[in-house]
């Protein structure tokens, strides 16, 4: 072993060191570095500091299950109309021993079916401000609580969806720490759109004669018109009831075109009722047409005659169970919706 080491150094001596002293210098330098590094490693390995004497300022531990700032969100109505604002109440309380500051609450839509189109503060104090769609609460002292009320508007990006899934993403500073939390907000249901039409024609919009008799109406001669009721909805509705009353002197004729539902007339009450058990959303098949007739009397000369009064409708939103209703304008011989004969409603004598 010694002989082998000796041979190795001897060959090295003869091969390098004798030929150039720079080899000697290089080898010595490397050897010194190795020894130095080895000494450092051994030194660190053997180092035993006195930890108890070191002072570090850690923040107080926070129980994330019970964060210091308690936030509660509530809405006034879980069924909303897109045309109206939702009132979102935010109740806050600082349960911590330190003040909470720089509270930022951001309301976001979870999916892309609806977007928050507008947010307003319904009550305003200097401590609460809105920056864009972000609510900022400045400083909340330990133990302090309060309520902020926001008015939120939504806009549909997908008209077929009716559930609004949204959340509040908040962050605040507490005792030198920045805490973030996300709260799922109450799911909102958008009311379905139900529109109804109540129109009258002597001549159809495409120019076809539907009614019969003189326009303007003439004393003693019958004139008939066609009334159309139509209902359209953005989602499913049930139990549509469309009704109106025929004024005295207006008679129901036999002409009909019923695409859906049942149509009945009570001659005793003069009530017209159209019932459709189910309206499928986005369907355009819910239309009724019927023919009515007048025979003006001499006393009605110069008058515009009422042809249909108290038109109204109601139906129940299948998803929400909410009843929607509406009233429509009565119809007269002035034929407001008939672009060919509108305004020719005053009875004339022969």
Q: How far is the CB of 79 from another protein (least distance, A)?
A: 31
Q: Can residue 53 be called a binding residue for another protein (CB under 8 A)? A: no
Alpha-carbon gap, residue 214 to 127, rounded angstroms: 72
Q: Can residue 18 be called a binding residue for another protein (CB under 8 A)? A: no
Q: Which of 257, 282, 325, 327 binds another protein (CB under 8 A)?
A: 257
Burial tier of 8 (Cβ tally within 10 Å: 0-12, 13-18, 19+)? exposed
User: What strands lie across the sheet with 177-184, from one edge to the other?
Assistant: 128-131, 134-140, 100-109, 166-174, 177-184
Alpha-carbon gap, residue 188 to 82, rounded angstroms: 11
Q: How far is the CB of 198 from another protein (least distance, A)?
A: 13
Q: Can residue 224 be called a binding residue for another protein (CB under 8 A)? A: yes
Q: Can residue 214 be called a binding residue for another protein (CB under 8 A)? A: yes
Q: Can residue 339 be called a binding residue for another protein (CB under 8 A)? A: no
Q: How far is the CB of 308 from another protein (least distance, A)?
A: 18
Q: Which of 256, 269, 282, 297 binds another protein (CB under 8 A)?
A: 256
Q: How far is the CB of 241 from another protein (least distance, A)?
A: 17
Q: Which of 109, 175, 204, 320 binds another protein (CB under 8 A)?
A: 204
Strand 79-80 and strand 188-190: pairing? parallel
Alpha-carbon gap, residue 335 to 218, rounded angstroms: 15
Q: Which of 70, 76, 84, 284 binds another protein (CB under 8 A)?
A: 284
Q: Which is nearer to another protein, 213 or 326 (CB)?
A: 213
Q: Can residue 298 be called a binding residue for another protein (CB under 8 A)? A: no
Q: Can residue 326 be called a binding residue for another protein (CB under 8 A)? A: no
Q: Can residue 221 be called a binding residue for another protein (CB under 8 A)? A: yes
Please count the residues of this chain forming the interface with another protein, following the rule CB under 8 A.
24
Give the DSSP letter string of 151-175: EEEEEES-TT--EE-EEEEEEEEET
In terms of phi and psi (left: phi > 0; alpha: psi -120 to 50; beta: otherwise), the region of 102 is left
The neighbour count for residue 35, using CB atoms within 10 Å, is 9
Which positions ≥6 away from 344 have C-beta within 8 Å? 215, 216, 333, 334, 335
Q: Which is nearer to another protein, 222 or 330 (CB)?
A: 222
- 339 preceded by a cis bond (ω within 30 of 0): no
Q: Can residue 289 be called a binding residue for another protein (CB under 8 A)? A: yes
Contact positions vs another protein (CB under 8 A): 204-206, 208-209, 212-214, 220-222, 224, 255-261, 284-285, 287, 289, 350
């Amino acid at each position: 072993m010694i002989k082998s080491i000796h041979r190795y150094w001897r060959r090295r001596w003869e091969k390098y060191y004798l030929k150039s002293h720079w080899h000697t210098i290089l080898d010595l330098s490397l050897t010194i570095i190795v020894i130095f590094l080895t000494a450092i490693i051994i030194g660190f390995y053997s180092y035993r500091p006195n930890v108890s004497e070191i002072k570090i300022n850690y923040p107080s531990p926070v129980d994330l299950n019970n964060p210091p700032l308690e936030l509660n969100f509530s809405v006034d109505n879980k069924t909303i109309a897109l045309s109206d604002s939702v009132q979102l109440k935010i109740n806050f309380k600082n349960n911590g021993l330190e003040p909470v500051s720089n509270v930022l609450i951001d309301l976001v839509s979870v999916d892309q079916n609806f977007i928050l189109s507008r947010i307003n503060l319904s009550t305003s104090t200097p401590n609460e401000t809105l920056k864009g769609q972000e609510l900022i609460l400045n400083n909340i002292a330990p133990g302090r609580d309060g309520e902020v009320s926001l008015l939120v508007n939504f806009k549909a990006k997908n008209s077929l969806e009716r559930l609004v899934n949204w959340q509040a993403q908040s962050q605040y500073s507490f005792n030198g720490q920045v805490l973030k939390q996300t709260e799922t907000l109450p799911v909102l249901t958008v009311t379905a759109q139900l529109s109804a039409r109540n129109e009258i024609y002597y001549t159809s919009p495409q120019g076809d004669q539907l009614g019969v008799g003189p326009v303007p109406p003439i004393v003693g001669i019958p004139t008939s018109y066609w009334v159309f009721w139509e209902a359209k909805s953005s989602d499913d509705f049930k139990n549509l009831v469309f009704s109106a009353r025929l004024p005295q002197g207006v008679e129901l004729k036999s002409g009909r075109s019923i695409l859906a539902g049942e149509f009945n007339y009570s001659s005793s009450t003069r009530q017209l009722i159209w019932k459709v058990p189910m309206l499928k959303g986005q369907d355009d098949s819910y239309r009724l047409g019927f023919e009515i007739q007048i025979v003006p009397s001499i006393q009605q000369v110069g008058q515009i005659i009422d042809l249909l009064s108290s038109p109204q409708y109601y139906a129940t939103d299948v998803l929400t169970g909410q009843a929607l209703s509406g009233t429509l304008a009565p119809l007269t011989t002035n034929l407001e919706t008939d672009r060919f004969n509108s305004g020719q409603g005053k009875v004339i004598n022969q």
